Chain A
Amino acid sequence: AQTVTQSQPEMSVQEAETVTLSCTYDTSENNYYLFWYKQPPSRQMILVIRQEAYKQQNATENRFSVNFQKAAKSFSLKISDSQLGDTAMYFCAMPNAGKSTFGDGTTLTVKP
């Protein structure tokens, strides 16, 4: 069975600063994907960034990047130059066919 753990229920960051959200996971698969999703208040959940386990290079999407440590089963999300629009709940997720396992989420507040 897959598990995904986010140990930070809430975090805050000042606008323009950098913040890192943590995620650990467990799986018996050797090749898999990991995602970070963003769910803004009362808005749709959207995919922020994805990582393929067999790729050693960490994924980057504009201000969002990951630190993927396969041996440690760690998958953290770094948001650089935080903006007010980054305020949202962030979920770490691991898909398994059409069934994704989600962490409990981290509520991030960006303060002006």
Chain B
Amino acid sequence: KAGVTQTPRYLIKTRGQQVTLSCSPISGHRSVSWYQQTPGQGLQFLFEYFSETQRNKGNFPGRFSGRQFSNSRSEMNVSTLELGDSALYLCASSSQGAGGSYEQYFGPGTRLTVT
């Protein structure tokens, strides 16, 4: 099976702009989670989608949003970018519904730089 893919791999944006990141999960996986990774804050959970519904949400401002399509592909959007949004954004997919081990498979990430 193909792994989790994320596009684009690298992005440079200016403060105030918005950005959309894309994630394609492993075939058959219905859960897609997004994480922000920064040197200072580590890995922080953004949100999780399961069967097109947001099932979990982390403590991020409303500028961060996401969605999932019927083919399980997911996008996350960040509006009004701030310098502090510079980070590696990781997507992870899992095959599990409620219960189960929730073993997550990670994509390579999108490196976002805000100038």
Chain A residues within 8 Å of B, Cβ to Cβ: 33, 35, 37, 43-47, 50, 52, 91, 95-105
Do B106 and A99 have beta carbons less than 8 Å apart?
A: no
Do B43 and A97 have beta carbons less than 8 Å apart?
A: no
Majority-rule SS of A interface residues: strand
Interface size of B by CB at 8 A reads 28
Q: Which of A33, A46, A47, A102 contacts B43 (CB 8 A)?
A: A102
Asked if B84 is an interface residue, CB under 8 A from chain A, the answer is: no
Asked if B89 is an interface residue, CB under 8 A from chain A, the answer is: no
Q: Mark interface residues in B86-106 (1 if CB within 8 Å of A CB, else 0).
A: 000010101010100111111
Contact status of A98 and B43, CB under 8 A, knowing A33-B102, A35-B103, A44-B107: no
Do B104 and A100 have beta carbons less than 8 Å apart?
A: yes
Which of B33, B43, B49, B50 has the largest count of A CB atoms less than 10 A from its CB? B43
User: Chain A residues near B31 (CB, 8 Å)?
Assistant: 98
Asked if B8 is an interface residue, CB under 8 A from chain A, the answer is: no
Q: Determine the distance from Cα of A32 to Cα of B108 in the docked complex, in whole angstroms.
A: 27
User: Chain A residues near B3 (CB, 8 Å)?
Assistant: 44
Do A95 and B108 have beta carbons less than 8 Å apart?
A: no
Nearest CB of chain B from residue A86's CB, rounded to whole Å: 18
User: Chain A residues near B98 (CB, 8 Å)?
Assistant: 97
Do A100 and B107 have beta carbons less than 8 Å apart?
A: no
Asked if B56 is an interface residue, CB under 8 A from chain A, the answer is: yes
Nearest CB of chain B from residue A108's CB, rounded to whole Å: 16
Asked if B15 is an interface residue, CB under 8 A from chain A, the answer is: no
Do B48 and A98 have beta carbons less than 8 Å apart?
A: yes
Q: Mark interface residues in B27-54 (1 if CB within 8 Å of A CB, else 0).
A: 0000111010000001101001110000
Contact status of A45 and B42, CB under 8 A, knowing A99-B48, A99-B58: no
Q: Which 5 A-B pairs have the closest CB atoms?
A: A98-B48, A95-B102, A45-B106, A102-B43, A99-B56
Do A46 and B106 have beta carbons less than 8 Å apart?
A: yes
Do B101 and A98 have beta carbons less than 8 Å apart?
A: no
Nearest CB of chain B from residue A94's CB, rounded to whole Å: 10
Which of A45, A46, A52 has the largest count of B CB atoms less than 10 A from its CB? A45
